[in-house]
Homo-oligomer: A and B are copies of this chain.
Amino acid sequence: MFLTGEFSKIARVSKRSLQYYDEIGLLKPAYTDAQSGYRYYSARQLPRLNRILALKELGLTLQQIARMLEDDISEDEIRGMLLMQKSQLEQSLMQDLQRFRRIELLLQHPTEQAPDVVLKSVPAQRFLSMRTHISSLQTGWELILYMVRTLAQFAETRSINHFIAITHAETLTDDDIDVEFGFVLEENIDSPITISEDYDLTLNELPAVPTMATLVHLGGPATTNLAYGALGMWLEANNYGFTGPQREVFIEFPFPANDEDIVIEIQFPVKPMHNHDLLLSALPD
């Protein structure tokens, strides 16, 4: 029989760990002196302790390990837990690999130049909008100004969130752009709504996007192309591909439009282009 200190030296585990395993019932000493509280471990407990350590090395939590060491566990349940852990490790590997590559990329470029692209998931939203074709970005911009101005009073009486511009054209040509403008709503509304003789707004749903690459841009339309370029390079370098129409969310858009005060979030629905399954099979050794 060994006291905590001796046993910890033999097994090369900290005393605190042994105490903790006792506390959570994972490994009780063979005998505990009721009066002094001294723990006495037997050499025969080493196999159990080593199994605990071996399982811990696989990244399992102590709770999971405790379950795996119970008597009434089936081989199937054990396999299930191992399979779960395996897929979690795979997740973690992919994430770390992404991070690793992003850091490599950052190291190649001055930090100030790197755009702060953030991936988010975006839920479906109620979207009160109109869709049309325009012949130039300039036309589009004027249409945006017109709509926002016209809808200003409407916005005051309804709960309106942000103004969003969507570019549907897959290939951007300068003289025919398929665009959609509108507002995100929280409440339900009878649609369509006529805002002028020329334009009707209809209510539809902006689809949810599981992976949206976003980049905030400070400034008006004159400089947004810079942000687009940076985002595009980021996506290419990190091996993401487009999966849907891009969005521009006007977060701050004062009247009269002062370019310096405009804050836009550029959004691209994306998906990773690398082949995950390929990775683990391609590893050396």
Chain A residues at the B interface, C-beta cutoff of 8 Å: 10, 12, 43-44, 46-47, 50-51, 53-54, 57-59, 75, 78-79, 82-83, 85-86, 89-90, 92-93, 96-97, 99-100, 102-104, 106-107, 110-111, 116-122, 162, 214-216, 218, 239, 251-252, 263, 265, 273-275, 278-280, 282-285
Tell me the minimal C-beta distance from A241 to chain B in angstroms.
12
Contact partner, A78, options B43, B85, B111, Cβ 8 Å? B111
Contact partner, A47, options B47, B85, B110, B218, Cβ 8 Å? B218
Q: What separation, in Å, do the CA atoms of A56 and B117 have in the docked complex? A: 12
Contact partner, A274, options B59, B100, B285, Cβ 8 Å? B285
Tell me the minimal C-beta distance from A69 to chain B in angstroms.
11
Apart from the given pairs A58-B99, A274-B284, A275-B284, 4 other A-B contacts in the complex at a CB distance below 8 Å:
A82-B106, A96-B96, A100-B280, A283-B283
Contact A107 B83 (CB under 8 A): yes
Please name the residue on chain B nearest to A277 by beta carbon: B284
Please name the residue on chain B nearest to A117 by beta carbon: B54
Closest 4 CB pairs of A and B: A43-B252, A43-B263, A54-B116, A274-B285
Contact A12 B90 (CB under 8 A): no
Contact B93 A96 (CB under 8 A): yes
Contact B216 A46 (CB under 8 A): yes
Contact B103 A89 (CB under 8 A): yes
Tell me the minimal C-beta distance from A264 to chain B in angstroms.
9
